[in-house]
Amino acid sequence: MSASPARAGPLSNTAEPRWVPSVAVQAIHRQQTLEHGGLQGIRSQAALDAALARPQQRWSYGELSTIPQLAAAHAEAIVRAHPFVDGNKRSGFLVAVVFLGLNGFSFQGSNESVVLMIQRLAADDLPWEELEAWFAGNSVLAP
C-alpha cells in the first residue's frame, strides 16, 4: 500500500500508518490466553486476514484518516470477526493498543471503561461513532 496517499487530520500521521503484522497479532493472542486463560488457536485464518485488512482498506479508501480511528477499526474488526477460538475481545483491544503504540500514541482509558466498551462492542451494542470517539478521547501522543 505504499502508493496510497498520505492522510492528514487531527491526531494523524502524515504517512501511511505502521500496521500490526499477522504474526504479531497471533503472538498477542497467544500471550494473553496464557496470562488470562482461554483456548489458544485460530478459528479461521480467513477471518483473521479479513479483520486485519479491514482497517487498511478503510485507510486506503479515505474512510478513516486518524490513528485513533484506525485503532478503533482494528478492535471492531477483530472482536466482530471472531478469528480466534477464544479471547477475541482481549485480542482485539490489545491489537488496537499495539497499533496506537506503533504509530506514536498511547492509550489512557481506565480498565473499567475498556471492559465496558469492549463488551458492548462484542454484544453489537456500540455504535461505530461512539467507539471511534472513545478511542479518540483516550489516545494521546506518546512523549
Q: Helix, strand or coil for residue 60?
A: helix
Specify the pLDDT at position 14.
Answer: 55
Rounded to whole angstroms, the Cα distance separating 6 from 62 reads 10
Residue 6 domain-assigned? Answer: no
Residue 128 domain-assigned? Answer: yes
CA nearest 97: which of 133, 68, 60? 68
Q: Per-residue b/e over 37-58, b at no fewer than 16 CB within 10 Å?
A: ebeeeeeeeebbeebbebbbeb
Residue 14 domain-assigned? Answer: no
Number of domains in the chain: 1
- For residue 74, give the CATH number of its domain: 1.20.120.1870
Does the pLDDT value for residue 1 go beyond 90? no
Structural domain of residue 32, as residue ranges? 22-141
**CB-hemisphere CA count at 13 Å for 63?**
14
pLDDT digits over 112-142, tens only? 999 999 999 999 999 999 999 999 999 999 8
pLDDT digits over 17-73, tens only? 999 999 999 999 999 999 999 999 999 999 999 999 999 999 999 999 899 999 999
Residues 90 and 122: beta-carbon distance below 8 Å: no
Q: How many residues are there in the chain?
A: 143
Residue 116 domain-assigned? Answer: yes
Residue 109 domain-assigned? Answer: yes
Q: Per-residue b/e over 105-121, b at no fewer than 16 CB within 10 Å?
A: bebebeeeebeebbeeb
Residue 135 domain-assigned? Answer: yes
Residue 10 domain-assigned? Answer: no
State the pTM of this model: 0.88
Residue 1 domain-assigned? Answer: no
